[in-house]
Amino acid sequence: MDNASEQKTGSHWLESSGFAHLFRIPRLAIRADNLGIGLVAVIATFVFGTVLDWVWMLRGGVSQKAVDQFILARQLDQPYSEPAGEFGIFDVWREHSRRCVLGFLASSIPGKSLAAGTKFGRYLDSHAQTRPLAYLTDLGYGQWWLLRQHPLYALLLAVGWVLIWGWAGGAICRVAAIQFARNEMLTLQQAQRYARHHLFGGSVLALFVPLGLMFFVAMLMGVGGLFLRLPLVGDLLGGAAFVLAIVGGAVVAALLIGLVIAGHLFCPAVAVESTDGFDAFSRGFSYVVSKPWRTVVYGVVSLLVTAICWIVVNLFVFAALSVTRAVVGFGTGPFGWGMRQVGQESIRKLDLLWPLAGPDALYRAPNWSQLGYFEYVSAVLIGFWVLLVVAALWAFLASLYFCCCTVTYFLLRRDVDGTDLEDVQMEEGAAEQTTTPLATAGPAHSAQPAASTAPTYSAEPPSST
């Protein structure tokens, strides 16, 4: 076989496997509009959780180690009593989830020994003491702690979370879908308008379809349990009909598993098909069931791409903040002049205002008791800008996640239905006029015609949701 044939065969294999498209995810995620949408969602989530904490703290807080103690009690099969403390529920849950997510990403990269002895290696080793599945397990325990110990708080937080990220995820997925399939751009206003239009009838409904079915079946099972309490009749008929309870349990388990393994496809289904929540749930669940191994392969490759991108960007941000801190810090105490004496050591003013620990702790609150009035104001303002950078970093991770889900949806749809990757539902009218194709990116796919720059529209009417 000549070189031309080998190159053609290799490119055809990459195209059919989908790997070449998965490596386009970072380019989709790094777009300024996706990062902007993610940043708004991150800030809104933090503000919403903080407000809930302020309200709940009127009755007292919880211990900073509450989730860790809950996990230990579950693992040892011991009773658990919620310890009181000075921290808010959202603060404790968020910190635990942050550690689990960072640990899961860092421990997912193989070959950590290749970087042993370097700063990169030490960063990975800080999360490599546990395997990825253990971090996922602890993450699940954190959600169970929140639901088990604080059900009303969990319900309110879940409602806010679904609304915020249903909107943000829908917008990011729509932008990524248009760029991936048509190599064209939506404006930020068009993306958020689309996400808002399809929020309740699409993204939110797709999530609540399995949840509603699970709740309905569980209610029927609970009624059956009440019937079983009746003497004689309940014992005879309830015991004989217990097989229905087993069937109900299997249905609830299947829906729960389907929600876990296919829930990441609901937002992309709405974004690509302009469909409602019922169809999005049906598509996501059927694609995963039809191609389970393809789903696993796409998920593993997407995880590796996400983990590598996250670590590289995280280390870059850490390097940028370290340079900023070193240069400005030198100005606050040049050649040891003007150093602040704290205990037995001399500290520069900037180090006092902004303690920087490492890539995992880009911002750490200073010791406020050591600051004067104007230094307190300066520390608050410095903290605001640093935390904004940290929020942008997490917005990048959110954009990576939704772009991964969108590309995975396109590939699974092609594998199951044979639909072209260029096929995306466009809404009629002037509400969604895309711009000209990206000139620097080339055609979206080799099969896409390089025709006019004006968008074409589907003959189907837009969704009424």
Q: Mean pLDDT score of the chain, rounded to an integer?
A: 79
SS3 assignment, position 62: strand
What is the DSSP code (8-state) at residue 346?
E
- 150-158 contacts: CB < 8 A, separation 24 or more? 150/56, 150/89, 153/52, 153/56, 153/89, 156/52, 157/48, 157/49, 157/52, 157/90
Q: How many angstroms separate the Cα of 232 from the Cα of each of 220, 227, 236, 237, 241?
A: 21, 11, 6, 8, 14
DSSP letter string, 367-388: -GGG--HHHHHHHHHHHHHHHH
CA distance linking residue 366 with residue 16, whole number of Å: 53
Contact 237, 227 (CB under 8 A): yes
Q: State which of 25-39, 334-348, 349-363 shows the largest mean pLDDT.
A: 25-39
Contact 306, 400 (CB under 8 A): yes
The C-alpha angle 101, 103, 108, rounded to 5 degrees, equals 100
- Name the strand (E) or helix (H) holding 347: strand 345-347
What six digits make up the tokens of 266? 């609901």
- Nearest-10 crossing angle of helices 132-149, 89-107: 170
Contact 80, 73 (CB under 8 A): yes
Contact 387, 417 (CB under 8 A): no
What pLDDT score does 294 carry?
Answer: 86
β-bridge partners, 346: 341
CA distance linking residue 256 with residue 94, whole number of Å: 23
Higher pLDDT, 26 or 364: 26
**Residue 280 CB coordination number (10 Å):** 29
**Residue 173 CB coordination number (10 Å):** 28
Please name the residues in contact with 401: beta carbons below 8 A apart, sequence gap of 6 or more.
Answer: 264, 306
First vs last C-alpha separation in the chain: 54
What pLDDT score does 354 carry?
Answer: 79
Provide the whole-model pTM: 0.79
| Sign of torsion over alpha carbons 333, 339, 342, 346 | positive
What pLDDT score does 433 carry?
Answer: 57
At residue 25 the predicted structure's pLDDT band, cuts being 50, 70 and 90, is: confident
CA distance linking residue 411 with residue 265, whole number of Å: 11
Q: State which of 188-197, 205-214, 240-249, 384-393 shows the largest mean pLDDT.
A: 384-393
Report the range of poorest mean pLDDT among 168-177, 204-213, 294-303, 324-333: 324-333
The model's pLDDT over 366-381, given as tens digits with 9 standing for 90+, comes to 877 777 778 888 888 8
Please name the residues in contact with 229: beta carbons below 8 A apart, sequence gap of 6 or more.
Answer: none
Please name which of 425, 387, 114, 381 lies closest in space to residue 268, comparing C-alpha atoms.
Answer: 425
Does 335 have pLDDT greater than 60?
A: no
β-bridge partners, 342: 345
At residue 435 the predicted structure's pLDDT band, cuts being 50, 70 and 90, is: low
Does 172 have pLDDT greater than 90?
A: yes
